[in-house]
Amino acid sequence: MSEVPPPEQSTPELGGIAGRDGAQDGLPKRFGKYTLIRKLATGGMAELFLAIQRSVAGFEKLIVIKRILPSMTQDRSFIDMLLHEARIAATLSHPNIVQIFDVGHVDGAYFIAMEHVHGEDLRSIVRQMKKKGVAEFPLEHTISIVSGICAGLAYAHEKRDLDGTPLNIVHRDISPQNVVVTFTGDIKVVDFGIAKSDAKLMEDTKSGKLKGKVPYMSPEQARGEQVDWRSDIFAVGTMLFELTTGKRLFKCASEYETLKLICDRDYPFPSMVRAGYPPELELIVMKALAKDRNARFQSAREMQGALEEFARGSRVATSTIALSSFMQGLFEDKLQHQKQALLQGKQLADIIALQHDADSGEIDNGRPSSTLSTPAAAHTVTNAGTHRNGGAGLVIGLLAAFVVLAAAGGGAFWFVKHRGDAAVATMSPPAQDKKGTIEVTSEPPGASIWINGDLRPEVTPAVVTQLPIGSAIDVKLTREGYEQAKETVTLTGGVPDGKVRSTLRRGTVSLSVDTKPPGLPVTMFVDGKAVTGTDADGLTSGVQHRVIVAAPGYAEQVLTFMGEPMEKKHFDVTLERARRGAKPSSGPATTPAGPGPATPPPAPAAGNGKLNVGASGGWCNVSVDGTPRGATPVAGLDLPAGPHRVTCVTGEGKTQTATITVTADATARYKFTL
Q: Element (H or E) spanning 300, and its range? A: helix 300-313
The confidence band for 515, taking pLDDT boundaries of 50, 70 and 90, is very high
Full set of structural domains in the chain with CATH: 120-330 (1.10.510.10), 332-408 (no CATH), 436-503 (2.60.40.1120), 509-574 (2.60.40.1120), 608-673 (2.60.40.1120)
Other Cβ atoms closer than 10 A to 188: 23
Mean of pLDDT values over 116-144: 90
pLDDT at res. 353: 56
- Please check whether residue 209 is in contact with residue 272, taking contact to mean a CB–CB distance below 8 angstroms: no
Q: Is the model's pLDDT at 195 over the cut of 80?
A: no
First to last CA, the chain: 51
Q: pLDDT tens digits for 401-430?
A: 443 334 334 333 334 344 334 433 333 444
Phi-psi region of 237 (alpha: psi -120 to 50; beta: other; left: phi over 0): alpha
Residue type at 615? A
Q: Is the model's pLDDT at 211 over the cut of 60?
A: no
Q: Is the model's pLDDT at 670 over the cut of 80?
A: yes
pLDDT at res. 25: 61
Please state, in angstroms and rounded to a whole number, the distance separating the CA atoms of residues 427 and 246. Answer: 18
- Please check whether residue 603 is in contact with residue 574, taking contact to mean a CB–CB distance below 8 angstroms: no
pLDDT at res. 225: 85
- Please check whether residue 574 is in contact with residue 630, taking contact to mean a CB–CB distance below 8 angstroms: no
The confidence band for 633, taking pLDDT boundaries of 50, 70 and 90, is confident
Long-range contacts of 321-326 (CB under 8 A, 24+ apart): 321/185, 322/140, 322/141, 322/185, 323/141, 323/144, 323/145, 323/181, 323/185, 324/183, 324/184, 324/185, 326/138, 326/141
Cis before 633? omega within 30: yes
Q: pLDDT tens digits for 276-286?
A: 899 999 999 99
Which segment, 39-53, 177-191, 494-508, 655-669, is predicted with the most confidence on average?
A: 177-191
Radius of gyration of the chain (CA): 30
Mean of pLDDT values over 505-527: 88
Q: pLDDT tens digits for 62-97?
A: 888 988 888 777 777 778 777 777 777 788 889 999
Question: 200 versus 5: which is more confidently predicted?
Answer: 200
pLDDT at res. 432: 45
Q: pLDDT tens digits for 425-468?
A: 333 444 445 788 899 999 999 888 888 877 776 789 988 888 88
pLDDT at res. 18: 33
pLDDT > 90 fraction of the chain, expressed in percent and rounded: 21
Nearest partner of 529 among 580, 598, 595, judged by Cα: 598
Evaluate if pTM is beyond 0.85: no
Other Cβ atoms closer than 10 A to 350: 21
The confidence band for 651, taking pLDDT boundaries of 50, 70 and 90, is low
Please state, in angstroms and rounded to a whole number, the distance separating the CA atoms of residues 607 and 613. Answer: 20
The confidence band for 496, taking pLDDT boundaries of 50, 70 and 90, is low
Is residue 475 helix, strand or coil? strand
**Residues with Cβ within 8 Å of residue 320, at least 6 apart in sequence:** 144, 184, 185, 186
Q: pLDDT tens digits for 556-592?
A: 888 888 888 888 889 999 988 876 544 444 443 333 3
Q: pLDDT tens digits for 132-181?
A: 888 889 999 999 999 999 999 999 999 888 888 888 889 988 999 999 99
Q: Is the model's pLDDT at 547 over the cut of 70?
A: yes
Mean of pLDDT values over 599-612: 64
